[in-house]
C-alpha cells in the first residue's frame, strides 16, 4: 500500500507469547476519520482517540491485544497518553498524530514496562511488507487474520486513475458493534478531504459493521479508523470520483464485517437475514436486528433446523409493524411460509437441505410497503460457551 509501513511483535503483553503489539505508520501525515463504540463504558484509548482524530489528521496507530485498558480510571488514560507519546518520540512525530487502540481483558492496568521496551522494537520493525505481522498482533480469540485488498479506478478527462484500499480487522466475540467491530483499520492511497472521508466511512460502516452480530454484546473498545495517504494517483474532487471511492470502500468494509461474523466465537455457519416489504426503514432495521440477535434463531441454524416460527416470532416482538397473515418467508429460493401459512413438510425438507451449507440466506417479506434492511450473523454452538467461560482463566 503506497505510503504505509507495518509491524507486529510479541512484547509480552499476552501470557502465551504470541504477537501483541502492532504499529501502522504513514510516511507523512494522512487524512483520517474514525468511528467509535456507542457503549457508555468506554476504554481509555477510545477517549483519547476521539480527541486525536478530531482535526482529521493522523500518522500512526499503535494497537495492542491482551489488555483492553478499560475500567482503569485516570491511570488508564494517562497510560494511553504515555504510549502515544512514547511512540511519537520513537517515530520523530507529534503525539497529536498518534492514535492508540487496545483489545483484550477489561479491568487490568496496562503493563507499561512491556510498552516501554516494546515500542522501540515495533518501531524498528516497520516495513512495507509487515502487514501480516500487524494483523497477528491485534488478534485475541480470532482464529485467523482478516485482511481485504481492493483496487478501483476514477475516470478523468486524461484517463483512469487507479487507487487502492486495504482493510485489516480483528473481532470474533463481543460483537454487536453499534458503530464498527472490535478493531478495524482501513487504509487508502487516494487523495481526499477529511469531511469527505468521514462521510464515506460513516456510510460504509452503516451498511457493514453496523449490520453484524455474533453475540449481541457491544464492546467497550470498538474502533474503526480510515487513513488516506494521498500517495496514489487518484483524487476525490467531484461526485463521480466520490461515488467510485464510496463503492469500493463499502465493499472492503462489508467483506471485513463478513469475515468477523464467519470467525465468530464457536461459529459454524454464516447467515444473512433480509427483511423487505416493511412500512419504514426503522421497521426493516428493527425486525432484521431482532432476528439476527435471537438466540433461538441462532441455535436453530446451528442445528440445521428451518424453524420458521422462531424467525417470525422474533420479527413480531421487534417493535416493527407486522401482519402475520401477510408474511412470506424464504430460505434461499425455497418458500416455507406464504401469506402467513406454513407450506408443509415438503417445503421444510427443502429448506433443511439448504441449511447444511456454510452460508444461509433468509428473506422475510412483510408485504406491507417497500423498505428493506439486512443483518449478517452466525450460529451459536457449544464452543461459544466454552470459549467465553474460559476467557480469563
> Measured over all CA atoms, what is the biggest interatomic distance in the chain, rounded to whole angstroms?
69
CATH classification at residue 250: 3.60.70.12
DSSP 195-224: HHHHHHHHHHHHHTGGGEESSS---SS-EE
The beta-strand segments (E) located in the chain are 4-9, 21-36, 57-65, 98-103, 146-156, 159-170, 183-188, 212-213, 223-228, 270-278, 328-331, 334-338, 341-342, 359-365, 371-378
Q: Which helix (H) or strand (E) holds 289?
A: helix 281-293
Residues with a known catalytic role:
181
Q: How many CB atoms lie within 10 A of CB 80?
A: 26
Average pLDDT of the residues in 131-158: 94
**Is 134 in the same domain as 275?**
no
Task: Tell me whether strands 341-342 and 212-213 are parallel, antiparallel or unpaired.
Answer: unpaired
d(CA 323, CA 241): 43
What backbone torsions phi and psi does residue 286 show, to the nearest 5 degrees? -55, -45
Cα four-point dihedral sign 26, 29, 31, 35: positive
Give the DSSP letter string of 299-350. HHHHTT---HHHHHHHHHTSSS---GGG-EEEETTEEEEETTEE--HHHHHH
Query: What are 41-79's pLDDT values in tens digits?
Result: 899 999 999 999 999 999 999 999 999 999 999 999 999
**Domain region containing 330:** 270-389
More confident site: 64 or 215: 64
* 73-119 pLDDT tens trace: 999 999 999 999 999 999 999 999 999 999 988 999 999 999 999 99
Q: Confidence class of residue 40 from pLDDT cuts 50, 70 and 90?
A: confident
Least confident of 129-143, 149-163, 190-204, 217-231: 217-231
C-alpha cell at 113: 514496562
Query: Could you say which DSSP state residue 42 is in?
Result: -
Residues 170-182: pLDDT tens digits? 987 655 655 444 7
Domain boundary among 245, 262, 279: 262
CB 26 within 8 A of CB 209: no
Q: What is the number of domains present in the chain?
A: 2
CATH number at residue 311: 3.10.20.340
Q: Are residues 359 and 298 in the same domain?
A: yes
Whole-number Å distance between alpha carbons of 358 and 378? 10
Cα separation, 37 vs 178, whole angstroms = 7
Does one domain contain both 250 and 350? no
Has residue 215 got a pLDDT over 80? no
SS3 67: strand
- 284 shares its domain with 341: yes
User: Does 275 lie in the same domain as 244?
Assistant: no
Do 312 and 329 lie in one domain? The reply is yes
Amino acid at each position: 500500500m503506497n505510503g504505509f509501513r507495518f509491524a507486529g511483535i510479541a512484547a509480552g503483553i499476552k501470557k502465551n507469547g504470541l504477537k501483541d503489539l502492532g504499529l501502522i505508520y504513514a510516511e507523512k501525515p494522512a487524512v483520517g476519520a474514525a468511528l467509535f463504540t456507542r457503549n457508555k463504558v468506554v476504554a481509555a484509548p477510545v477517549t483519547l482517540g476521539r480527541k486525536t482524530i478530531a482535526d482529521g489528521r493522523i500518522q500512526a496507530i499503535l494497537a495492542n491485544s491482551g489488555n483492553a485498558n478499560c475500567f482503569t480510571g485516570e491511570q488508564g488514560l494517562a497510560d494511553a497518553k504515555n504510549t502515544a507519546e512514547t511512540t511519537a518520540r520513537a517515530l520523530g512525530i507529534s503525539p497529536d498524530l498518534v492514535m492508540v487502540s487496545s483489545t483484550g481483558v477489561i479491568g487490568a492496568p496496562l503493563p507499561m514496562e512491556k510498552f516501554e521496551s516494546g515500542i522501540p522494537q515495533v518501531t524498528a520493525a516497520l516495513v512495507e511488507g509487515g502487514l501480516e505481522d500487524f494483523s497477528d498482533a491485534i488478534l485475541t480469540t480470532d482464529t485467523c487474520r482478516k485482511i481485504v485488498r481492493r483496487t478501483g479506478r476514477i475516470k478523468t478527462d486524461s484517463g483512469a486513475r487507479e487507487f487502492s484500499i486495504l482493510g485489516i480487522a480483528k473481532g470474533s466475540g463481543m460483537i454487536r458493534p453499534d458503530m464498527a467491530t472490535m478493531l478495524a483499520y482501513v487504509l487508502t492511497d487516494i487523495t481526499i478531504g477529511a469531511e469527505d472521508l468521514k462521510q464515506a466511512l460513516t456510510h460504509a460502516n452503516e451498511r457493514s459493521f453496523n449490520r453484524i452480530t455474533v453475540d449481541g454484546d457491544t464492546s467497550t473498545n470498538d474502533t474503526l479508523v480510515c487513513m488516506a495517504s494521498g500517495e496514489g494517483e487518484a483524487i476525490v474532487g467531484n461526485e463521480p470520483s466520490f461515488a467510485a471511492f464510496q463503492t469500493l470502500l463499502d465493499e472492503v468494509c462489508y467483506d471485513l464485517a463478513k469475515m468477523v461474523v464467519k470467525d465468530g466465537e464457536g461459529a459454524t455457519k454464516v447467515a444473512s437475514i433480509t427483511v423487505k416489504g416493511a412500512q419504514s426503514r426503522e421497521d426493516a432495521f428493527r425486525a432484521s436486528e431482532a432476528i439476527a440477535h435471537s438466540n433461538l434463531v441462532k441455535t436453530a441454524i446451528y442445528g440445521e433446523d428451518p424453524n420458521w416460527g422462531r424467525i417470525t416470532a422474533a420479527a413480531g416482538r421487534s417493535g416493527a409493524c407486522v401482519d402475520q397473515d401477510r408474511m412470506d418467508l424464504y430460505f434461499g429460493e425455497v418458500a416455507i411460509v406464504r401469506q402467513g401459512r406454513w407450506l408443509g413438510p415438503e417445503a421444510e425438507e427443502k429448506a433443511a437441505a439448504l441449511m447444511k451449507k456454510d452460508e444461509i440466506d433468509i428473506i422475510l417479506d412483510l408485504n406491507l410497503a417497500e423498505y428493506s434492511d439486512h443483518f449478517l450473523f452466525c450460529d451459536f454452538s457449544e464452543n461459544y460457551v466454552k470459549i467465553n467461560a474460559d476467557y480469563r482463566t
